[in-house]
Amino acid sequence: MTSAREWLGLAVVAAPLAGAVLACGVPRRLVQPAALLASVATAAVSIALAAIALARPGQPFVGRWLVVDAAGGLLVGVIGVVGLASALASPAYLRTAETSLVRPAYAPRLYYGGLALFQATLLAVPLAGNLGAAWLLLEATGAFSALLVGFSGKRRALEAAWKYLILTSLGLGVTLLGIAVLESATGSGRIGGLAWSAIAAAGPSRQSALVAYALLLVGLGAKAGWAPVHNWLPDAHSEAPPPVSALLSGALLPAVALVAWRVTDSLQSSIGAAAHQLLIGFGLASLAVAIPFLWRPLAWKRLLAYSSLEHMGVIVLGIGFGSPLALAGVVVHIAGHAAAKALGFYAATPLIEHLPQASRGAVSGLGRTEPTLGAAMGLSLAALSGMPPSPLFVSEVLVVAGGFSAGYAWAGVVTALLLALGFLGLAHALIEITAGKARRHRSPASGMRGMRVLVACTGALLLCLAGASLWLPGSDIVAVLARGLT
């Protein structure tokens, strides 16, 4: 008998697929309303599924093809909310977009159809109960998101889209090799043997499991933007439409990290401590590579891209430490990062309208020329830097404390030092953007009433997350995550 979780899991993916069909089939004047309606429906079922999964974390649904557990529910909720916000922010972007890949009459259909398909595949990734299915879905996200990255049709955007598609496809090719090694080691001979529970039960030899795990982690790291395989990340984030950048950073990157987490959990009994050490290495490398760029004056979206590299490092470190405190930090960090980063990217549309040179260089003095826009960018940077009472401050403290409690004191010390350096870089950018010397601007930014609402909603959400983070470490959610995902 099909359970409510299974039906909701199917509905979560079906809603954006319906939105893609509507975007292609309805009359031109109804494309935008139909896309927004589908996004509202998607967010509603996503939040419902997340609420059920998080309310009863000890009762996950685990099948060969579908998994609905606490970690997957969290990601589904985040993707649903960020997807809705991106759909709501898209009309402002399309009004200011000067070029596109297709004629202007067809641009909204291409944009909203691609956005819906991207969100549908994104939502399916955390629910995939099979490593092979997860790989196929990640490939699909690459195809749809690359189209959106190059949506403007400009040379830089097309270069960024090709770079993103080629590098992430190469990474997923390495992942496929890892899947082949793993399948050979388990000897199942069928795709059903790649179910998360089946991999854990098969118990491959340590040597085979370690080779497969290293290949899987390197390939997934290229898709997730971990250093040193992160090269596509700054260009793609800089050139994609801001609502798409929000989904790339706040939803895609942690969704790939969840797949890596599931792989780690499935092979933990065969590999042992080496699994955690590899994740910690990727996390520290990501932090270390991001820091020098956070200290440089960068264009706004490029600064946010390198911030994504830093925050993915924090998430990977928390998964690698694996202690209850660290995993509590991971949960808070995923949600807080998505909210703060989405606000920052949505601010990019009125920013470039107000200050066109912001697309290629650093900005300053926004608090003087456009206070609402300065407040949006300031709130985003304050939260991303880990400035109290940001939930990311609490989550970073939890991850560092979790490293010490897991016996990785050296990694905890290095993480704390790198996070302090990252804070200083982002804090300097925050001061420059809000209170620095004002530069000549073209015109007042439009849509400031909506931006004020967005700033208020994001601020309230961040404060709620900060409060929830104080309760989370002793909760059933973290206890279940510490025992294993599936």
Which comes out higher in pLDDT, residue 119 or 369?
119
Sign of CA dihedral 364, 424, 227, 260: negative
End-to-end C-alpha distance for the chain, whole angstroms:
21
**Burial class for 154, CB neighbours closer than 10 Å (0-12, 13-18, 19+):** middle
List Cβ neighbours of 14 (8 Å cut-off, separation of 6 or more). none
Which comes out higher in pLDDT, residue 441 or 255?
255
Residue 408: pLDDT band (50, 70, 90) is: very high
Residue 251 has pLDDT above 90, yes or no: yes
Answer for the pair 179, 131: CB distance below 8 angstroms, yes or no.
Answer: yes
Q: Per-domain residue ranges for the chain? A: 273-486
Q: What is the pTM of this model?
A: 0.95
Residue 1 has pLDDT above 80, yes or no: no
Residue 92: pLDDT band (50, 70, 90) is: very high
- Average pLDDT value for residue range 274-301: 94
**Burial class for 27, CB neighbours closer than 10 Å (0-12, 13-18, 19+):** exposed
